[in-house]
């Protein structure tokens, strides 16, 4: 077998993932909040995955880029890579339930083409034809030598054939395709991002559709040393018979830890969303403004362009809505009309804290929401 591993240690971990799948599917989540949750987790996953490859974008940057309101501080090339990664994730989400979709060379190439935003300079949409070396981003030291380019097509076909015929748990398949693509390194660029998108595809195809199961990049982004050390099992040079048990176990364990954390966050942020809608109701303001208040609560500025993309409305409605928040002192406007941004206003935390009977600060409100979510 290509890159074999021992499934023994995985039993309790995949069993817990199955329990979480049933639990999360049974939770009642307001439809409006579910869409916003997915958008937030998508941005966090995209930002984390691109940062792991040395593209310095924040979650705030990513949210704005994906909403069509990119910050001037992010280059056009990096903006394209952010959009490309989102395009790749959207592609696998659309295709996951297609019974005719097969794990094969064309699938891998198609995902990489989207990850690389179609940039031919990055080798988008084609297997590499020259030697490659994996280096550390911080030191540029060579840490791994992938197989020669001549062997890549056959190895990519073996990856597809293995996934097509295996009966692994989806989390196991996700971990294996991740390490297999990273080890073979079949592309000139975008191998890590492609591997992580394919790992999400394995989860989607296995029925794990909740965003808690398909945003593992965010966990890796918070724990980069664990991520990079997991690849140590590959050694310094590619060998088809290398045992990758350590990577598989690390990956599945990270999946469990991520879903635990996101399940708690979903509960706490769901309470926040309800509190924001209740606050708007009390002030006789449109509840759709919760989309803006959610970002403002976390200290992110909001523009009319960004807000318009969130609720899919006209420019005039977006501007008028944000002006209503400013009039209620829930937001403060800064800048001229075209570049105007809104930041948290003086009454936002005060009004929320009053309903929760806590100190008027984001930290105190967040702690109380977590406490109530766990009660």
Query: What is the domain extent for residue 100?
Result: 8-262
For 13, the enclosing helix (H) or strand (E) is helix 11-26
The residue among 266, 286, 264 whose CA lies nearest residue 277 is 286
Residue 125 — φ and ψ, nearest 5°?
75, 20
Q: Answer yes or no: is 271 within a domain.
A: no
Cα 320 to Cα 67, 233, 328, 344, 346: the distances in Å are: 19, 56, 13, 17, 20
Do 30 and 176 lie in a common domain?
yes
5-29 pLDDT, tens digit per residue, is 998 889 999 999 999 998 886 665 5
CATH number at residue 108: 1.10.3290.10
| Dihedral (CA of 366, 368, 371, 375) sign | negative
DSSP string, 144-207: EBPPPGGGHHHHHHHHHHHHHH----HHHHHHHHHHHHHHH--SSS-HHHHHHHHHHHHHHHTT
Q: Which DSSP symbol is given to 335? A: S
Q: Answer yes or no: is 14 within a domain.
A: yes
Q: Which DSSP symbol is given to 27? A: S
Cα 199 to Cα 92, 202, 241: the distances in Å are: 10, 5, 21
Q: Answer yes or no: is 275 within a domain.
A: no
Do 48 and 128 lie in a common domain?
yes
User: What is the model's pTM?
Assistant: 0.91
Residue 327 — φ and ψ, nearest 5°?
-65, -30
Q: Answer yes or no: is 303 within a domain.
A: yes
Which of these three, 262, 293, 323, is where a domain ends? 262
Residue 343 — φ and ψ, nearest 5°?
-120, 170
Question: Is the pLDDT reported for residue 192 higher than 80?
Answer: yes
43-83 pLDDT, tens digit per residue, is 999 999 988 888 889 999 999 999 999 999 999 999 999 99
């Amino acid at each position: 077998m290509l890159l074999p591993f021992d499934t023994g240690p995985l039993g309790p971990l995949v069993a817990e993932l199955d329990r979480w799948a049933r639990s999360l599917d049974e939770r009642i989540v307001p439809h409006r909040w579910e869409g916003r949750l997915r958008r937030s987790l998508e941005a966090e996953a995209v930002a984390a995955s691109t940062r792991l490859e040395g593209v310095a974008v924040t979650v705030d940057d990513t949210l704005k880029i994906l909403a069509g309101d990119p910050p001037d501080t992010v280059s056009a090339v990096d903006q394209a890579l952010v959009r490309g990664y989102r395009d790749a994730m959207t592609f696998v989400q659309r295709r996951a339930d297609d019974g005719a979709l097969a794990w094969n060379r064309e699938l891998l190439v198609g995902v990489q083409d989207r990850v690389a935003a179609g940039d031919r300079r990055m080798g988008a949409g084609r297997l590499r034809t020259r030697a490659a070396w994996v280096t550390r981003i911080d030191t540029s030291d060579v840490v791994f030598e992938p197989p020669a380019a001549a062997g890549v097509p056959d190895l990519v076909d073996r990856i597809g054939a293995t996934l097509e015929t295996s009966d692994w748990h989806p989390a196991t398949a996700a971990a294996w395709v991740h390490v297999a693509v990273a080890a073979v390194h079949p592309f000139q660029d975008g191998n890590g991002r492609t591997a992580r998108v394919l790992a999400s595809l394995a989860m989607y195809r296995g029925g794990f559709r909740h965003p808690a199961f398909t945003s593992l990049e965010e966990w890796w982004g918070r724990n980069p040393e664990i991520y990079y050390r997991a690849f140590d099992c590959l050694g310094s040079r590619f060998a088809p018979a290398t045992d990758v048990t350590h990577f598989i176990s690390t990956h599945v364990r990270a999946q469990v830890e991520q879903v635990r954390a996101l399940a708690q966050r979903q509960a706490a942020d769901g309470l926040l969303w309800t509190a924001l809608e209740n606050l708007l109701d009390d002030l006789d303001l449109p509840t759709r403004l919760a989309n803006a208040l959610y970002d403002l609560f976390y200290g992110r500025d909001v523009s009319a362009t960004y807000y318009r993309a969130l609720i899919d409305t006209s420019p005039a409605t977006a501007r008028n809505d944000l002006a209503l928040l400013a009039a209620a002192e829930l937001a403060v406007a800064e800048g001229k009309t075209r570049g105007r941004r809104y930041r948290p206003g003086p009454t936002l935390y005060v009004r929320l804290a009053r309903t929760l009977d806590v100190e008027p600060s984001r930290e105190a409100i967040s702690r109380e929401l977590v406490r109530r979510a766990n009660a």
